[in-house]
Amino acid sequence: MVTGAGGALGAELVTRLGAPGTPPGEPGDAVVGLTRAELDVTDPAAVRAAVRAWASASGDGAGDGPAVLLNATAYTAVDRAETDPDAAAQAHAVNADAPGLLAAACAEVGARMVHVSTDYVLGPLPHGARRPLEPDDPTAPAGVYACSKWLGEERVREALPDAHHVVRTAWLYGARGANFVRTMARLARERDTLDVVDDQHGSPTWTADLADGLIALGRSSAPAGTLHAAGGGGTTWWGLARAVFDELGADPERVRPCDTASFPRPAPRPAWSVLSDASWRAAGLAPLPPWREALHTAVRHHPELLLG
């Protein structure tokens, strides 16, 4: 079962799970994908009913429940959540309350849950150290969005202590919806030069790669816990913008570096959120491709990304 099936990641999960031709040896998957319009994940009764119906339809008649619920639902308008009380309430309901409701419903039917979280929950390393971040590094969520996502993690852990995976990722872009890559491609056509922040570091992640990783995790026997999964390596927003220009055949020198202070935003952004894949590999899972390789592959298979 995929919740948030209308979003960039959720739609990718449904497509890949429902696509014909599963890998050799795989039995295939019966998939239920639910969009926000189809399931209000903030409604306790609706969540419980949907998960129970799914469990009943997915069981083998001997009382077995479904294998895994993949929760890709999230409220991501981070700046609006800082300035609009209604948006802040919605962020809390979707990012904090809903994962707990879904996890509790999974516990009732004996299902596992994979919950997608974010680099925003992590804090800076001690003494200004710069190394890829691990799941057990300090958390220090700042802002409404980050705090709501951290609470969502905690509620999943509490409701499903032995049957959950919290997967933190970063800097997602996909074939569907607005994202940084598509925005940079549009601005490359509209402006002669472009100033982009060069003091925020992260791991750009192609949704198709993450979807494949989440599906592999769901099919695995990895123990419950928190993992990091993102494009390999790291860069800055400036570095990612230059890579987009390069994919367009445009001159990357048109992209000029600037600092965060030059573009103040209501919600604080992590200065360092390059994620380590050590926990992912330790769980027996194939690491996601390096971010630059993934971008090239994404553009080759989805040229509409560069249409902006």
pLDDT of residue 60: 46
pLDDT of residue 29: 62
Active site residue 145: yes
Domains and CATH numbers, the chain: 2-179+204-233+269-289 (3.40.50.720)
Sorted by sequence, the CB contacts under 8 Å of residue 184 that are 6+ apart come out as: 194, 196, 240, 241, 244, 245, 308
Catalytic residue among 75, 120, 145, 173: 145
**Helical residues (DSSP H) of the chain, grouped into ranges:** 8-18, 44-58, 78-83, 85-92, 98-109, 144-159, 180-190, 207-219, 237-248, 278-282, 291-301
CA 131 to CA 141: how far, in whole Å? 19
Q: pLDDT at residue 204 above 60? A: yes
Mean pLDDT in residue range 60-64: 43
pLDDT of residue 69: 97
Amino acid at 280: W
CA 99 to CA 214: how far, in whole Å? 17
Mean pLDDT in residue range 149-163: 98
CA 133 to CA 294: how far, in whole Å? 20
Q: pLDDT at residue 28 above 80? A: no
Mean pLDDT in residue range 54-81: 81
